[in-house]
Amino acid sequence: MQDGGRLFSPFPRPRCLAAAAPKLTHPGKAILAGGIAGGIEICITFPTEYVKTQLQLDEKANPPKYRGIGDCVKQTVQSHGVKGLYRGLSSLLYGSIPKSAVRFGMFEFLSNRAKDENGRLDSTRGLLCGLGAGVLEAVLVVCPMETVKVKFIHDQTSANPKYKGFFHGVREIIRAQGLKGTYQGVTATVLKQGSNQAIRFFVMTSLKNWYKGDDPDRSINPLVTGAFGALAGAASVFGNTPLDVIKTRMQGLEAHKYKNTLDCALKILRHEGLTAFYKGTVPRLGRVCLDVAIVFIIYEEVVKALNVVWKTD
């Protein structure tokens, strides 16, 4: 019986992999689930993204228009109503769906090839898979989407806003600056997005492995997934807010002041000091923690639902 046991001992491994499939699933399911999660999340959290971007664009040399988060919200509502906090939502919504779809699809594609023989993804491989997913989403979706969003929000602060809507804005940007006008700050965006997803998936993978212990089949409650997501989001905020500030400046209407990403960083440091690299950290922290928690919860639950109706090997 012992020899028989040894003969059949490899077979539990495929069963273990099958049980783990809902967590590291077929890229097709990941693309669909990621898109759904991204669309829902951005509708919930956009006002904090708006405030964060306004504070980052509010350079000291102007002098500052806002005294803080509350003052930014107050002035925006007084001038444009509550809907002013959603200015630029369309550009982010159109981009958020494909962004999350590309991110999760690429992560699952890479992670399915990086798992060990037991179907387990270690933290280091999770970081590398997250890095790959972040770089791809930055090039295909995030850079043009964020450039348009920042220009929309910055345009609202001007005396005579010129963008009437998403498609009109994109058309005007391309007409004035060409297609490259939607790819301003691409280096900073790739650095920011790549490090973002590397940090988040590293933390998520580490926490999931810790929670499951020696039982890879152990299910994770949605609230626990949300808590892990919030921690992953917080880690990414503190890890790369400086890159986010540089990216925002490079994509604003006054991006012409900077020769490149390095020049932008040096000018911010020279004229505004080190603390300028952490402008908007508080509103970004709140948004990102909620963002990542919501996205991972919805993603996991949608994948579970898809596993019922969409059978894949």
pLDDT in tens, 129-167: 999 999 999 999 888 877 877 787 777 677 777 887 777
Residue 19 has pLDDT above 70, yes or no: no
**Where would I find the beta strands (DSSP E) of the chain?**
none
Q: What six digits make up the tokens of 284?
A: 């970004």
Q: pLDDT, tens digit, for every residue of 33-56?
A: 999 999 988 888 888 878 888 887
pLDDT recorded at residue 186: 85
Residue 6 has pLDDT above 60, yes or no: no
Q: How far is CA 18 from the centre of its chain?
A: 29
Residue 189 has pLDDT above 90, yes or no: no
Domain ranges of the chain: 185-304
- Contact indicator for 241, 281 with CB cutoff of 8 Å: yes
Confidence band (pLDDT; 50, 70, 90) for 18? Answer: very low
Q: Could you give the CA distance from residue 163 to residue 153 in angstroms, rounded to a whole number?
A: 10
Average predicted confidence (pLDDT) for the chain:
83
Confidence band (pLDDT; 50, 70, 90) for 74? Answer: very high
Within 10 Å of residue 286's Cβ, how many Cβ atoms? 18
For the domain spanning 185-304, the CATH number is 1.50.40.10
Confidence band (pLDDT; 50, 70, 90) for 14? Answer: very low
Q: pLDDT, tens digit, for every residue of 96-128?
A: 899 999 999 999 999 999 988 777 889 999 999
Within 10 Å of residue 59's Cβ, how many Cβ atoms? 18
Confidence band (pLDDT; 50, 70, 90) for 222? Answer: very high
For the chain, the 3-state helix, strand and coil shares in percent, each to the nearest 5, are 80, 0, 20
Q: Could you give the CA distance from residue 105 to residue 109 in angstroms, rounded to a whole number?
A: 6
> pTM of the full predicted structure?
0.72
Q: What angle do CA 177, 265, 127 make, to 5 degrees?
A: 95
Q: pLDDT, tens digit, for every residue of 200-221?
A: 999 999 999 999 888 877 889 9
Helix (H, G, I), strand (E, B) or coil at 224: helix
- pLDDT greater at residue 11 or residue 130: 130
pLDDT recorded at residue 205: 95
Q: What is the DSSP string of 128-166?
A: HHHHHHHHHHIIIIIHHHHHHHHHHHHHHTSSS----SH
pLDDT recorded at residue 308: 87
Tell me the torsion sign for CA atoms 137, 142, 145, 148: negative
